[in-house]
Structures are given as C-alpha cells and as structure tokens.
Structure 1
C-alpha cells in the first residue's frame, strides 16, 4: 500500500465478478483499497460482493457492500446516500457495469438493444447523476467510465456487436460532457478504453479464440483486469488532478497501432 488514495471514498459498481477469476471491477476495488481508499462495493449479488469485501478486509483494507440494480434511479440515490452515511464523503465513482449481446442492425432484437444500452450507458448516467451532488459538496471528485475498444473501432464479424459498440461509444461522449459541465467544480471525468483482457466475462472463450485475440494485439500479449485497475488508480488519484475529458486506451496498442507492410 502506497496511500495514493488515502482519505478518499470510492464507489465501484459491478464490483464482484460473475464467475471465477478476477474481473475489472474486482481488481479495481482491491487496488483502491490497497491504496488507502474506503470502498463501497455495489453489486446485484450481495453474496459475491460480501466475499470480495472479506478479501479486502483480510488485506487490511476497508470495504462495505451495497446490493443494488443500478439501472434504477432510486437505487442509485440510495447507493450514494449509503456511502455518505457510512463514510461521510464521496470522492470517486468507478462505473463498471456492462453487458454485451450479439447482433448487427439487421439481426439484433429490440429487447437485446434496450438491455445493452441500459446496462452500459443508462446505469452510468444514473450512478453519476446520484453521486455528483455529493462530490460537489465535498469539493470535487473523479468519475471514471469503463468503455471498450468496441466503442473506439468497428468490430468486423458475422455475429456483430452493434448494441455493445454503440453503448460503449456513447460513454466517450458522456465522459466529455460530464468533464465539460463540472470542470470548474473540481470534478474530473475520464474514460478507460478496455482492450482484449481475460476476465470472467469472457471465460467462455476457448483457447483458439483467445489466441486469435492475443495475436491481434501489437504487443502480442493478453491483458488482465489488473492492467485496467492500475489505470483506474491513476485516474482516481491526485496524480491526475489536471486530467479530465480523456479516453485512456489500455489495450496493448490495439486502437492506435497498425502493422505497416515492409
């Protein structure tokens, strides 16, 4: 622990993974706690969140659990109120909730479209809406969005990912809007663009598919949730006090680098 977040209170949504292994939210919550933050673990499954909270406490960190579906505004308001009642302040919001579904504009169902937009984009807006007044009252804060390379580049493939790509791209615009609206109030908003990381969300992926993804990355390596979490620590800390409105790709060069024929 180096105390980069000492004295801060962080809310991490979608904190506990859905399966075995370490997800982006879990890694971020653990590193936030290791760096001295008090962490509120927000999850639909209280059982999984309690398990994560116990792990953080075993390491000497501090964490509390708030079970909620953050697609509901009242739940988001209750989440923010719980954080203030428990710790007296709210400095960091890490928006990590998201799901995907296949489909091109021709094949995606309206039900899947609405679910993906709601889970990735609307939840982020609602959580941010609830937390901003508390950040303003405390003199500032850091709001972090979690996007994907799917929102930064077009993904070719027969299955398609139009709803997921659209939702993740929407987070980029949402980030810049929040950053602009609250820049004079010492509230920063930034977005992490997640690359080909291996987490429980893609645990169903076979060895061959993982290898294809690895070879697409210019660095020729597969990322982990810890790579994403270290970026989140930077954006949450005072080290990035003059950084707002950016999209930070953590993806081994996949978005910005291309091989040139020799």
Structure 2
C-alpha cells in the first residue's frame, strides 16, 4: 500500500498500543474506495491494536486483515452474521481467548436500500424486520456479549456507528428509525456501565463516499457514478462527501485514552450537512 492509501491523519503514535479491538463490519461492499469498517480496522491496527476483523463475508474480512498484516500489524479475520447472536458471542470470546482481553468493540453495521428499506408507503414487514435485525438488534447483541467481558475486566470502550440520518432529513423509514435507536441504546449503555469503567459513544456519519453508499445507489438508481457523487457533494456545506478515514479518525479518538472522560455522546461526522436539515 502506498502513502496515498493511508488516509489523512495517519500517525505512528500507537494510541491503542496493546489493546484488543473487535471491529464488526470490517469487510466492505464491492466498489471504489474504503468503507468505514475497513478504514477503522486499519486505523486501529496502525495505532497498535490487535484487531479481530469481523464480517459475514469472510473473504472481505480476510482482505481487510491481509491489508493490515501487509503493513506489519496484527489482525485476524472472523466470520459472523450480526443477525445471529451466537456468532457475535463467539467473536467476542475468540478475541479474548486469542489475545487475553477485549478492550474495544466497534460496531460498524448498517443497511438501508441494500437491505430493502423504502418510503413508508412502500415498506413491507419483511423488509423492515431485515433492516431492524441488522442495524439495531445486531448492535445490541454485539454489545451484550462485549459488555459481559468488559464488566469482568472493569474496563472497555464501545463505539457504535449510527447515522446523521437519525437526526436529519432522510427519506427511508427503517434506516432512520433503527439508527435513532442505536443512539438511544448507546446512551443507556453508557449510563448503565459507567460504574464498570466502560465508555460507550456513537458516531453519526453523514454523506460518506463508501462503496456501500455510492455504489449501491449507482446500481439502484441506474445513474452514472459521477452523477451520484456530484449530487451528494452538493448537499454538504464543506463541498464534498467524507471518506471512511474521516469516520475512522473519529473512532480512533473515541477509542483512545484521549477520550477517557467522554461517554454517552453522539458525534456528527457530516461536513455540516445536518445544519441544512430545516
């Protein structure tokens, strides 16, 4: 990997040195660029964390782990479907058994159009339930099994990825509702686990140029990629979409000791777009 692929803000500071991190959704959809989960897994590893790269697509998870190992850092791929609690449980146990602890859980899972989301009038029970199982239930049960270990340790950090859609305009019902649920759940998680030394925070990405966001819309809307990207860029006050590295850098801060007095917050990473919601 050349220096241009490192992403902005790369440093050799080792802010997560010796930590064990489980990144759920560490693979990514086919397409151009880096997804939020892959970028975060790589960012954590570059800062010294040993990373369990979890994804239902083991080939994609292995691609992420291979990129990390190719840079000289430590990562192992693990297959788990977030709709299956037992597989999430096994992921947490594997990290602890492999490296002795579970210090960071990063939940980067979410589907909208790709999961069948739609305008309320077009939404079906099956499609709603599918989005809910992935976006909300998957996050909650991953946290359940991470918290079990973290309470024993009396330490740990959880970073859940919600969405700016939860607090701003968004046309599809299930994604907005479930991502708002992730915020509420993270606040509860932070409050109920602070006495155990566990912190929990939320990231709310806005329009990020990831394969899942852009390439899915290119396919669903049958539009040229350049048109989709131009329309998304135009909606952001800073004049461009974000990248997976913008989300990864925020996750790194929240997971690091630099944020050791921060819990229960939701951080917008949206280039100011939520300011245009009215």
Shorter-normalised TM range = over 0.9
Partner-residue secondary structure (3-state), 1:249 = strand
* Aligned residue in 2 for 1:236: 255
1: distance between equivalents of 2:173 and 2:21? 32
TM-score, structure 1 normalization:
0.94
1:172-210: CA deviations, max 9, x gaps? 101100011011111111000001111110224332232
Aligned length: 255
Q: Report the secondary structure of 1:144's partner residue.
A: strand
The answer for the alignment partner of 1:14 in structure 2 is 25
- 2:96 alignment partner in structure 1: 84
Gaps of 5+ in 1: none
The answer for unaligned runs of 5 or more in structure 2 is 1-11, 219-224
1:170 to 168, 172, 181: 181
Q: How far 1:258 moved relative to its partner?
A: 7.3
Listed one character per residue, the Cα deviations across residues 189-248 of structure 1 (whole Å, up to 9, x for unaligned) are 100000111111022433223212211111112210000000000010000000001000
Give distance in 1, aligned partners of 2:263 and 2:55: 27
> For 1:84 and 1:66, how far apart are their aligned partners in 2?
13
Residue in structure 2 matched with residue 42 of structure 1 by the alignment = 54
Kept in 2: contact 1:218–1:258 (CA 8 A): no
- SS of the equivalent of 2:72 reads coil
- TM, length-normalised to structure 2: 0.88
Would you say the 8 A contact 2:169–2:277 is kept in 1? no
Higher helix share: 2
Q: Equivalent residue for 2:141?
A: 126
Shift of 1:257: 5.8
Q: 1:188 to 1:256 in 2, by over 3 A?
A: farther
C-alpha distance in 2 between matches for 1:78 and 1:8: 19
Q: Distance in 2 between matches of 1:180 and 1:63?
A: 31
Q: Which residue matches 2:43?
A: 31
SS in structure 2 at match of 1:106 = helix
For 1:138 and 1:184, the matched residues in 2 are separated by: 12
1:1-262 aligned within 5 A? 1-20=12-31, 21-101=33-113, 102-155=117-170, 160-201=171-212, 202-204=214-216, 205=218, 206-256=225-275
Report the 3-state secondary structure (helix = DSSP H, G, I; strand = E; otherwise coil) of the residue aligned with 1:203.
Answer: helix
1:145-168 superposed Cα distances (whole Å, 9 cap, x missing partner): 11111111122xxxx310011111
Further displaced range: 204-213 or 163-172: 204-213
Match of 2:3 in 1: none
CA RMSD of aligned residues (A): 1.4
Return the offset for 1:139. 2.4
